[in-house]
């Protein structure tokens, strides 16, 4: 996955962004505050309306009861048409009743002891008063208006709770974008920093807020990282320089001993010294911040390459067509394949199998290294080819060097877990595609004993 693709993926994951989390928290807090305030206001409003209703009911009951306190004034006067009223005798029978109650004089009054009475599906709130010598005055008012007001307030509250997050979340996202603009730009700049080159500091915003403080701390960290990398590169360069001279002497001595004695162990040691020499050169290039290599091209028989690899990594099973010829840098290609085979042997263990298959077409030469080990770690992916990244406890430099060698040849190196298990690495090189002139050159190269002796 490219860096641009990773950045796009990070932008798509909006639900994980700091801006969205801040907006969500802002919205939830606003919703909580709005809910508490609305509930409080609604409770106060409904309580006030309830008190006003009770005051109105008691006031009317007092006014009507006052009319019966003077028998001379109330004699022959009917009950006023205010809500529902009834005059009940001391024995509990009806003396007078409003027409809406559908009760007749002389009947027992059924609602005297009830504070709320449902009449025709409408709740009625009631009070009683002493009506002088006549008995008890019963007065009731419908609560329909109060209930409608309570339902309207509840609907308004629910609407406010629904509209608040719909409005506050976009506002929070907009405010978060404005507040975190500097941080987002700094993140984009940080993503474009190439760690293999000189680390650049991030620009600081004009306002000295928390973002300014964070970016300043990151800049100080980058300065310390760059200083640490410089010290590490210097130390690595010194170590490689110190190893280079004795390795050169050892390589020359082993080569002379191999020519004089022909001992297989001495020949193998000379090849190992060659590999160590190339490894120190790669480390030197890595210490300089880049991995560059110069190739010396030869057209060699594949059998020659097979013999070198068989001596370097014993126990490798060779499959495919090894009777072909390969246009390559023999030393570098040997180094790349040797790294792959060594990793495969390490993963497969002493009792496992390691195979190297060669397939050649006019357009492409393919080397496939497969082992019977557990396969590649799924969490590493293509990062396994980065320097010092390893899933098997090794230094992690071999795969990176092998891919660089393949790329320098114009090919590539890819790795995966084989369908049947185990790791599988495929190194491809362009085909030789020799014409007649190239055939003459290749014949001259094959005639050189020095090339065949490698």
120-147 average pLDDT score: 86
Give, for 49, the enclosing helix (H) or strand (E).
helix 18-69
64-92 average pLDDT score: 71
Query: pLDDT higher for 442 or 16?
Result: 16
> What pLDDT does 291 receive?
54
Task: At 416, list the tokens.
Answer: 């995966």
Q: Which residues contact 24 (CB under 8 A, 6 or more apart)?
A: 169, 172
> What pLDDT does 443 receive?
44
Most confident stretch, 129-138, 159-168, 327-336: 327-336
Task: At 31, list the tokens.
Answer: 């919703």
Task: At 173, list the tokens.
Answer: 């996202």
Residues composing the chain: 454
Task: Please tell me whether residue 81 adopts helix, strand or coil conformation.
Answer: coil
Separation between Cα atoms, residue 122 and residue 102, nearest integer Å? 15
Give, for 131, the enclosing helix (H) or strand (E).
none
Nearest to 302 by CA among 258, 354, 367, 369: 367
Are the CB atoms for 342 and 313 separated by under 8 Å? yes
- Residue 34: how many other CB atoms lie within 10 Å: 17
Residue 435 reports pLDDT greater than 60: no
Q: What is the DSSP letter of 200?
A: P
Query: pLDDT higher for 333 or 382?
Result: 333
Separation between Cα atoms, residue 241 and residue 9, nearest integer Å? 43
Are the CB atoms for 47 and 68 separated by under 8 Å? no
Confidence of residue 195 (pLDDT cuts 50, 70, 90): low
Confidence of residue 16 (pLDDT cuts 50, 70, 90): low
Confidence of residue 450 (pLDDT cuts 50, 70, 90): very low
Nearest to 346 by CA among 320, 380, 369: 369
233-257 average pLDDT score: 78
Query: pLDDT higher for 124 or 169?
Result: 124
Residue 355 reports pLDDT greater than 90: yes
Residue 308 reports pLDDT greater than 60: yes
pTM for the predicted model, two decimal places = 0.45
All domains of the chain in start order, with CATH:
71-144 (3.30.450), 189-292 (1.10.287), 293-452 (3.30.565.10)
Confidence of residue 420 (pLDDT cuts 50, 70, 90): confident
Give, for 281, the enclosing helix (H) or strand (E).
helix 264-287
- Taking CA atoms, 224 is separated from 46, 204, 227, 305, in Å, by 65, 18, 5, 46
Task: At 127, list the tokens.
Answer: 């009070």
Nearest to 320 by CA among 358, 353, 355: 358
In sequence order, what DSSP letters do the residues of 144-155 get, joined into one string?
HHHHHHHHHHHH
- The separation between the first and the last C-alpha atoms of the chain, rounded to the nearest angstrom, is 39
Query: pLDDT higher for 111 or 427?
Result: 427
155-164 average pLDDT score: 83
Residue 83 reports pLDDT greater than 70: yes
Task: Please tell me whether residue 170 adopts helix, strand or coil conformation.
Answer: helix
Beta bridge partners, 327, equal 299
Task: Compute, in degrees rounded to 10, the torsion defined by CA atoms 392, 397, 400, 404.
Answer: -150
Beta bridge partners, 316, equal 354
Q: Which residues contact 428 (CB under 8 A, 6 or more apart)?
A: 364, 365, 366, 367, 406, 411, 412, 413
Query: pLDDT higher for 141 or 282?
Result: 141
Residue 58 CA, chain-centre distance (Å), reads: 66
| 88 phi and psi angles, rounded to 5 deg | -110, 130
Confidence of residue 287 (pLDDT cuts 50, 70, 90): low
37-48 average pLDDT score: 86
- Residue 230: how many other CB atoms lie within 10 Å: 11
Q: Which of 14-18, 72-76, 119-123, 171-175 has the lowest mean pLDDT?
A: 72-76
Beta-strand pair 354-360/316-320: parallel
Q: What is the DSSP letter of 356?
A: E
CA angle, residues 367, 368, 369, in degrees to nearest 5: 120
Nearest to 234 by CA among 283, 197, 282, 193: 283
Confidence of residue 340 (pLDDT cuts 50, 70, 90): very high
Nearest to 93 by CA among 73, 77, 117, 109: 109
Q: What is the DSSP letter of 295?
A: -
Residue 330 reports pLDDT greater than 90: yes
Residue with tokens 């293999």: 196
């Amino acid at each position: 996955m490219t860096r641009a693709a990773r950045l796009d993926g990070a932008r798509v994951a909006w639900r994980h962004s700091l801006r969205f989390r801040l907006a969500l928290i802002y919205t939830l807090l606003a919703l909580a505050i709005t809910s508490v305030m609305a509930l409080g206001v609604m409770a106060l409003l409904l309580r006030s309306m309830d008190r006003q209703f009770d005051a109105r009911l008691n006031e009317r009951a007092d006014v009507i009861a006052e009319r019966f306190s003077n028998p001379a004034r109330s004699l022959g006067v009917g009950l006023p048409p205010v809500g529902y009223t009834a005059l009940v005798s001391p024995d509990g029978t009806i003396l007078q009743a409003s027409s809406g109650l559908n009760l007749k004089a002389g009947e027992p009054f059924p609602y005297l002891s009830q504070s709320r009475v449902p009449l025709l599906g409408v709740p009625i709130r009631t009070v009683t008063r002493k009506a002088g010598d006549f008995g008890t005055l019963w007065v009731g008012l419908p609560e329909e208006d109060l209930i409608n007001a309570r339902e309207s307030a509840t609907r308004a509250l629910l609407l406010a709770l629904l509209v608040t997050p719909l409005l506050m979340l976009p506002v929070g996202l907009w405010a978060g974008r404005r507040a975190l603009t500097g941080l987002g730009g700094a993140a984009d700049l940080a993503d474009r920093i190439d760690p293999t080159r000189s680390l650049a500091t991030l620009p600081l915003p004009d306002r000295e807020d928390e973002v300014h403080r964070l970016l300043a701390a990151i800049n100080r960290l980058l300065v310390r990282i760059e200083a640490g990398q410089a010290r590490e590169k210097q130390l690595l360069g010194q170590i490689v320089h110190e190893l280079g001279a004795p390795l050169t002497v050892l390589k020359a001595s082993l080569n002379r001993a191999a020519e004089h004695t022909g001992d297989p162990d001495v020949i193998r040691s000379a090849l190992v010294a060659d590999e160590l020499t190339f490894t120190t050169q790669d480390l030197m290039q890595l210490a300089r911040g880049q991995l560059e290599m110069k190739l010396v091209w030869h057209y060699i028989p594949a059998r020659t390459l097979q013999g070198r690899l068989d001596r370097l990594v014993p126990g490798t099973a060779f499959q495919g067509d090894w009777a072909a010829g390969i246009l390559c840098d023999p030393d570098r290609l040997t180094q790349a394949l040797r790294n792959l085979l060594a990793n495969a042997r390490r993963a497969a263990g002493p009792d496992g199998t390691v195979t190297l298959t060669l397939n050649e077409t006019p357009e492409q030469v393919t080397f496939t290294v497969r082992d019977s080990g557990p396969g590649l770690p799924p969490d590493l992916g293509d990062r396994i080819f980065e320097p010092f990244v390893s899933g098997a406890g090794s230094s992690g430099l071999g795969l990176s060097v092998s891919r660089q060698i393949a790329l320098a040849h114009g090919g590539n190196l890819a790795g995966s877990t084989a369908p049947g298990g185990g790791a599988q690495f495929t190194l491809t090189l362009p085909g030789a595609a020799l014409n007649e002139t190239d055939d003459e050159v290749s014949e001259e190269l094959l005639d050189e004993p020095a090339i065949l002796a490698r």
